[in-house]
Amino acid sequence: MAGREPAAMAAASAYYSNAIRNDGFTQMQIANASGVTSVTLRNRFHEIREKIQIQKDENSKNFIVFATHDKLNSILEETE
């Protein structure tokens, strides 16, 4: 994700969290609050979602993170 605008990456991360937790904020609200366009927010969101997938467990209490990038997967496996 090198070379991406930090504000856009932060906004996309917030939007991803919002989507998972069903917090109720719209894409436009998050984009306006962070000072990025909704198109940029959506594009960064899709990039992040390709690399890192987050789901709730069966009890909907904990989050499960799946890294889809090989290098990130190897780093996560080394830390276990």
Taking the CA atoms of 3, 13, 39 and 72 in sequence, report the sign of the dihedral they define.
positive
The answer to whether residue 40 is domain-embedded is: yes
**The pLDDT of residue 79 is above 60:** no
The answer to whether residue 48 is domain-embedded is: yes
At residue 66, what are phi and psi to the nearest 5 degrees?
-115, 120
The answer to whether residue 1 is domain-embedded is: no
The pLDDT tens digits of the residues spanning 4-51 come to 889 999 999 999 988 888 889 999 999 999 999 999 999 999 998 888
Whole-number Å distance between alpha carbons of 52 and 67: 5
**The pLDDT of residue 63 is above 80:** no
- Note the pLDDT of residue 4: 85
The CATH code of the domain that includes 25 is 1.10.472
Containing domain of residue 65, as a range? 6-79
Q: In terms of pTM, does the model score above 0.75? A: no
The answer to whether residue 74 is domain-embedded is: yes
Total count of domains within the chain: 1
Other beta carbons within 10 angstroms of residue 70's beta carbon come to 8
The beta strands (E) that lie in the chain are given as: 52-56, 63-67
- Note the pLDDT of residue 19: 86
